[in-house]
Structure 1
């Protein structure tokens, strides 16, 4: 009954109260409006060399297919569509929908999105400048996309977003384990995310509105397939970003905490939960804090081939609030080269207790390697043609 009341209250708020308060300013007569369709996409290849893989060092690294994607944007009679379909190799999850939603604009300042849209939490669109994201991505708090409804109001000085998500990316309905073949990290294995609420508020400061101060809150349920009971989860973040048009600098600062409280079967309570994306799962501590810092500088160029270079460094520290769990670090130093439709990321990514940046996969975000952890580095070049 409580869940049903939550559904009804949330949908009433988003679909009735907000639209009526916005007083849509679009003309009623749209008989002459023509449908609009924009198609785009990208093809990317990847080279990497990882210090912990001896066979790869002997080969001098690997170079191969990364991803092919198709983007579609459409609009007709006031209803908009935004979708992105990605195809990776089968080992990284195969074909997946990164995002896809229907949109209606109540005015130039207010819109509503329904479908698989970006969760309003933390610095957006990315809490990073590099190809690897930051630590927040790998526990589901950066560029996360879930199934639900989101309202956005942006008046310039203020922006706020309110959202309700029925579930994460849902592929098979019913009591079925969530698949890790997805773009953004979500709880998987024997638990399913459901009935999540998000609220994000941003205040812009300065003459150019280049300073953004933000607060994000998130709360939801975790349905356990074995016990058929709901646990809960919640998170919060404070964030700051500087990205003025007149400046070449970009600064990102964020501090966040999270808690997962699943309802495991009696006698099998665990202090971690499984999360998955790109075709694989790993374990994540049930509670922790993550602190991230990003600094980037843009160098504009007017040469035949290069139009700009962005130099950046992104650091993330993961403090696991559990005894016996080693903390994790991530630092990415690199540069983005822009050459017409091509974007080339060149990154040196360093990891300490990081599943993607070290030999330990399953428990890097829990116990680590029991006091034997070392820093590891992955040198990565990603070449992408965007059209």
Structure 2
């Protein structure tokens, strides 16, 4: 997937008043004054793909990836978190990744309203690399939808409860399809995600809660624009993460099913998903298994202070026996040098829309004669 950037690290805090001169400098305020944090990133990308003959002949391509701006605001206990991204027009143009308002009742309980992250599986990411894991391409990693979420983050027990009225809705016509200009993958085309409920529970144990063992569930509707009837979809996941001695391990198993009520003659074996300006087909029913491991190595090499080596693997088992399964594996390293973060990845895929496939139905019917394809990718970003 060539259009994803990651935000693992905190943004620099800048206090300003009024807002329109925030780039001019830093200011200090009394405790009862509004506080605003501003940050962002500028990223560029180089890639060389095994299935692109012209690209191989010219030695790959290097170009613009994204400019991103982040806002955090707080006043009288109510706070705002927003992130807007500007991609090229071919990749969907400007999109809002997230944008929600929140309130903390105390140190461990809070509520968020707006375009907020869906509580499902390992978070914030089920991966370490720039491409994410296979879960992302089915809308099950770093997904953001419109709704309300309650979070209880205790010392040993953590749970999230949420209701999402819809995914990112940009057009409000009676029978208008949802736009593909979005950051995270959702059901699109003639079906719309509606009225989704999510629950997630995590048990934390070990020294400094290094182990996180959890389960996630979601259930919602699929409103069909042609039949004007509402089908349903659900997802269940079990997940475990451990961070210890500079190692990080993430393991997850999940199952998902989609049951749209389509017009007569239209297949219910696959659905249209989309993001970044382009839709593709995904199998209606599948199981997904992922395993990701990383190791941090502090170094002192000029401005370079840390190397994070990783390998992230994903396997999509489609429950339609006539479909061909999909695989993804990414091996790489994240290089930290001051405010510059560089992902160097070797991403391989089998029946993967963004890694050498035909794009349209690799995650659905697939191709039994497909072969593994790979992409060497370097993503360089300055975070501020």
With normalisation by structure 1, the TM-score equals: 0.90
2:93 paired with 1:84 = no
Name the SS of the counterpart of 1:364 in structure 2. Answer: coil
Please list, as runs of the form range in 1=range in 2, the aligned pairs for 1:316-327 lying within 5 A after superposition: 316-327=314-325
Aligned-partner Cα distance in 2 for 1:225–1:367:
24
In structure 2, runs of 5+ residues without a counterpart are: 1-29
Match of 2:9 in 1: none
Query: Helix, strand or coil: the match of 1:99?
Result: strand
The answer for the alignment partner of 1:227 in structure 2 is 227
Partner of 1:190: 190
CA deviation digits over 1:256-291, x for unaligned, max 9? 000000010123233100000011000000000000
- Supply the distance in 2 between the matched residues of 1:32 and 1:45 (Cα, whole angstroms): 39
Match of 1:243, SS? strand
Once residues 154 and 98 of structure 1 are traced to their aligned partners in structure 2, the CA distance between those partners, rounded to angstroms, is: 23
Q: Does 1:97 find its partner at 2:108?
A: no
Once residues 32 and 121 of structure 1 are traced to their aligned partners in structure 2, the CA distance between those partners, rounded to angstroms, is 35
Provide, for residues 118-143 of structure 1, a one-character-per-residue CA deviation record: whole Å limited to 9, x for no partner.
00000000000000000000000000
Query: Which residue does 1:169 correspond to in 2?
Result: 168
**What SS does the corresponding residue of 1:56 show, helix, strand or coil?**
helix
The secondary structure found in structure 2 opposite 1:57 is helix
Which of the residues 348, 352, 355 maps onto 1:357? 355
Q: List aligned pairs for 1:208-287, cutoff 5 A.
A: 208-244=208-244, 247-287=245-285
Which of 335, 338, 360 lines up with 1:340 in the alignment?
Answer: 338
SS of equivalent residue, structure 1 residue 138: helix
Deviations 1:318-338 (A, max 9, x none): 000002100010000000000
Of 308, 311, 319, which residue of structure 1 is paired with 2:309?
A: 311
1:372 and 2:361 correspond: no
Task: Report how far residue 156 of structure 1 moved.
Answer: 1.3
3-state SS of the aligned residue for 1:307?
A: strand
| Bigger mean CA deviation after superposition, 32-41 or 118-127 | 32-41
Are residue 201 (structure 1) and residue 198 (structure 2) matched?
A: no
Distance (Å, rounded) in 1 between the aligned partners of 2:303 and 2:81: 31
1:384 aligns to 2:363 (yes or no): no
Which whole-Å CA distance do the structure 2 matches of 1:232 and 1:197 have between them?
11
Matches of 1:383 and 1:302, distance apart in 2: 19
Residues 1:32 and 1:71: Cα distance change in structure 2 (over 3 Å): closer
- CA 1:34–1:330 in 2, change beyond 3 Å: closer, same or farther? same
Q: CA RMSD in A?
A: 1.0
CA distance in 1, matches of 2:31, 2:180: 45
Contact kept in structure 1, 2:259 and 2:268, CA below 8 Å: no
Question: C-alpha distance in 1, partners of 2:131/2:138?
Answer: 13
How many angstroms does 1:208 deviate by?
Answer: 1.9
2: CA distance between counterparts of 1:136 and 1:143?
9
Distance 1:285 1:199 in 2: 24
Q: Cα offset for 1:255?
A: 0.1
C-alpha separation between the residues in 2 aligned to 1:154 and 1:46?
A: 36
Distance, in Å, in 2 between the alignment partners of 1:138 and 1:319 is 14
Residue 14 (structure 2) aligns with: none
Provide the rounded CA distance (Å) in 2 between the counterparts of 1:255 and 1:367.
21
Taking structure 2 as the reference length, what is the TM-score of the superposition?
0.91
Task: Report the Cα offset of residue 32 of structure 1.
Answer: 5.8
Deviation of 1:171 (Å)? 0.2
